[in-house]
Amino acid sequence: MPIIYFDQAASSFPKPPTVANAVAKAINEYGANPGRGGHQLANDAASVIYETRVKLAKLFGEKDPKNVIFCHNATHALNQAIMGFNFNKGDHILSTSYEHNSVRRPLEYLKKQKGVKVTYLNSNHNGYISREQLLKAISPGTKMIVATHGSNLTGTIFPIEMIGSVCKEKGITFLVDASQTAGILPIHMGEMNIDMLAFPGHKGLLGPQGTGALIIKKSVELTPLFFGGTGSHSEEKDQPNVRPDRYESGTLNTPGIAGLSAGIDEVISRGIDNIFQHEWELTKYCLERLQKIAGVTFFGPDVDIKRLAVIPFIIDGTDVQEIAMIFDQHYQVALRAGLHCTPLAHETIGTLEGGTLRASFGLYNTIEEIDQWITMVEEIKESLMG
Looking at the Cβ atoms of 180 and 193, the one nearer to ligand PLP is: 180
What's the CA gap between 21 and 43, in Å, rounded?
20
What's the CA gap between 174 and 180, in Å, rounded?
17
Q: What is the DSSP string of 282-323?
A: HHHHHHHHHHTSTTEEE-SS-TTS---SEEEEEETTS-HHHH
Q: Does 200 bind ligand PLP (CB under 6 A)?
A: yes
Count of positions on this chain that bind ligand PLP (CB under 6 A):
13
Q: At what angle do helices 40-59 and 17-29 cross, to 10 degrees?
A: 150
What's the CA gap between 218 and 339, in Å, rounded?
36
Looking at the Cβ atoms of 35 and 362, the one nearer to ligand PLP is: 362
**Options 71-79, 217-225, 249-257, 317-325: segment touching ligand PLP (CB under 6 A):** 71-79
Near ligand PLP in 201-260, by CB under 6 A: 212
Looking at the Cβ atoms of 102 and 142, the one nearer to ligand PLP is: 102
CB of 7 to ligand PLP, least distance (A): 10
User: Residue 175 gets which letter from DSSP?
Assistant: E
Q: Does 181 bind ligand PLP (CB under 6 A)?
A: no
* Burial group, residue 253, by CB count within 10 angstroms (0-12, 13-18, 19+): buried
Q: Does 177 bind ligand PLP (CB under 6 A)?
A: yes
- The residues pairing with 326 across neighbouring beta strands, listed in sequence order, are none
Burial 348-362 (b: 16+ CB within 10 A, else e): bbebeeebbbbbbbb
Looking at the Cβ atoms of 154 and 173, the one nearer to ligand PLP is: 154
Q: Does 183 bind ligand PLP (CB under 6 A)?
A: no
Q: Does 75 bind ligand PLP (CB under 6 A)?
A: yes
Near ligand PLP in 88-107, by CB under 6 A: 100, 102
Alpha carbon 190 to chain centroid, angstroms: 19
Q: Does 180 bind ligand PLP (CB under 6 A)?
A: yes
Q: Does 148 bind ligand PLP (CB under 6 A)?
A: yes
Residue ranges binding ligand PLP (CB under 6 A): 10, 73-75, 100, 102, 148, 152, 177, 179-180, 200, 212
